[in-house]
Amino acid sequence: MEYITAPWREEYVKKLFKMKECIFCHALKQKDDVKAFILFRGIHNFIMLNKYPYTPGHLMIAPYKHIASFERAKKESTDEMADLLKLSLKILTKNYRPHGFNTGMNLGKSAGAGVSDHYHLHVIPRWTGDSNFMPIVGKTKIFLEDLKITYKRLLPLFSKEKRPIK
């Protein structure tokens, strides 16, 4: 069996065990979208940058409601999440020109969810060859831009979209 490591995420995992509050609820309570890296607010869901991304442009779409169960969520919320996924793919494709995407949810701790009590959808741009030896050998992940640059790059694109009134 082959194991794949992601040592750059160690800081994130350690913080999760210390956190007493959900990262999504915490981001919303900050009332500062720039500080929380929130790019877009819909009626039921919002889009934010992942603070510990796998690649530049790694987004997360989460409902405002703190709920673990996707299947128990209201249809309006899950339908909007799908629409926000489409919007995210469109904006990331236009701005980053990835070769593909990983999208999905880790529902439950055993499925790999770092935050298991507030379901969310990951949107991860991918490029051929974006995985290399640096994280494994050097315990270093190389990014061409930091979160503030990614936020400044994407915010105007999300801001152009029609925003429903919440």
**Domain spans in the chain, listed from the N-terminal domain onward:** 41-159
Catalytic residues: 120
- The per-residue DSSP string of 38-86 comes to EEEE-SSEEEEE-SS-SSTT-EEEEESS--S-STTS-HHHHHHHHHHHH
Sign of CA dihedral 32, 80, 110, 116: positive
The burial of 70, by beta-carbon neighbours within 10 Å (0-12 exposed, 13-18 middle, 19 or more buried), is given as middle
Q: Could you give the C-alpha distances from 150 to 16, 37, 115, 144, in angstroms and in order?
A: 23, 9, 23, 10
What order do you get walking across the sheet with 38-41 strand by strand? 38-41, 45-49, 59-63, 121-126, 100-104
- Ranked by mean pLDDT, which of 12-26, 61-75, 147-161 comes out on top? 61-75
Q: What tens digit of pLDDT does each residue of 111-149 get?
A: 777 787 899 999 999 988 766 443 443 444 445 677 888
The mean per-residue pLDDT over the stretch 92-109 comes to 90
CATH number assigned to the domain with residue range 41-159, chosen from the 4 options 2.60.260.20, 3.40.50.2300, 3.30.428.10, 3.40.50.720: 3.30.428.10
**99 torsion bin: left (phi>0), alpha (psi -120 to 50), beta (else):** alpha
Position 165 confidence tier, pLDDT thresholds 50, 70, 90: very low
pLDDT attached to residue 97: 94
